[in-house]
Structure 1
Amino acid sequence: MTPHADHDSYIAAAPEPFRPALQHLRGVLAQALPDAEEMTAYNMPGFSVQGRVVASYAAFSKQLGLYVLGPAIATHAEELRAAGLKPSKTGVTFPAHKMPADQLVERLVRTSREHLDG
């Protein structure tokens, strides 16, 4: 994907089958991080607090990705694996039709937010 200035243009440029999932993920992140600002970095839309990225998301050719601070992935690694997801050091990828549960996404981003100060 080419660089995008905001979440709306990023989602609009994503493959059509991914757009509803991206829009949903954006809403879950916004709700879980009410004090965060929308931003883009590394050509990914995300949310930052005091200028530091807390969570971001992306669309790839065959899957979506959710990225948070490493300690959040480590804290919830077993839960991610139990959900059938394969976590990396700072994120998790998944097909658009098999998104992680909203509650799991909320726990990940809230844990990520908690680690900004710690």
Structure 2
Amino acid sequence: MSAEVAAYIAALPPDQREALADLRARLKALLPDHIEVMSYAMPGFRQPDPKGRMVAGYAAFAKHLGLYPHSGSVIPQIECAPFKASKSGVLFTPDRPLPDALLRAIIETRQAEIAAGYGRKG
């Protein structure tokens, strides 16, 4: 874990700290070769190549946690109910984490989008 990510998670209240540490471990298992970074003031995972794209980020807020695939077109493609979602992310709480199947669907959809060249300039 990067020092910045460790500091971000360590500064959270215990329930959020535990929930995001668990999410981080689950993301790491889905993205074992990816680089853990801070991006847009949130922890996340970037592709391992020098021009690697962000695959997903996560963050804690006062009343919820969020997972953000760094794309406005991923979440609308996935059924996220009963979780609250916007085009940029899906919200959850420490006592109701994202199920593995939903997490996997978000990551796989984002990876497919990146592989297809979505959002590349030039």
TM-score norm. by structure 2 comes to: 0.83
Counterpart position of 1:33 = 31
Counterpart position of 1:80 = 80
Letter in 1 for 2:43: P
- Report deviation, 1:103: 2.0
Counterpart position of 1:63 = 64
Q: Which has the higher contact order (CA 8 A, sep 6+)?
A: 1
Letter in 2 for 1:55: A
More strand by share: 1
Letter in 2 for 1:39: V
Question: CA deviation digits over 1:49-96, x for unaligned, max 9?
Answer: 1331110000001110000133321221xx202xx1121111011111
Q: Which runs of 5+ in 2 are unaligned?
A: 117-122
Q: Which runs of 5+ in 1 are unaligned?
A: none
- Identity value in percent: 41
- Structure index of larger Rg: 2
RMSD: 1.6
Distance in 2 (alpha carbons) for counterparts of 1:36 and 1:99: 22
More helix by share: 1
TM-score norm. by structure 1 comes to: 0.85
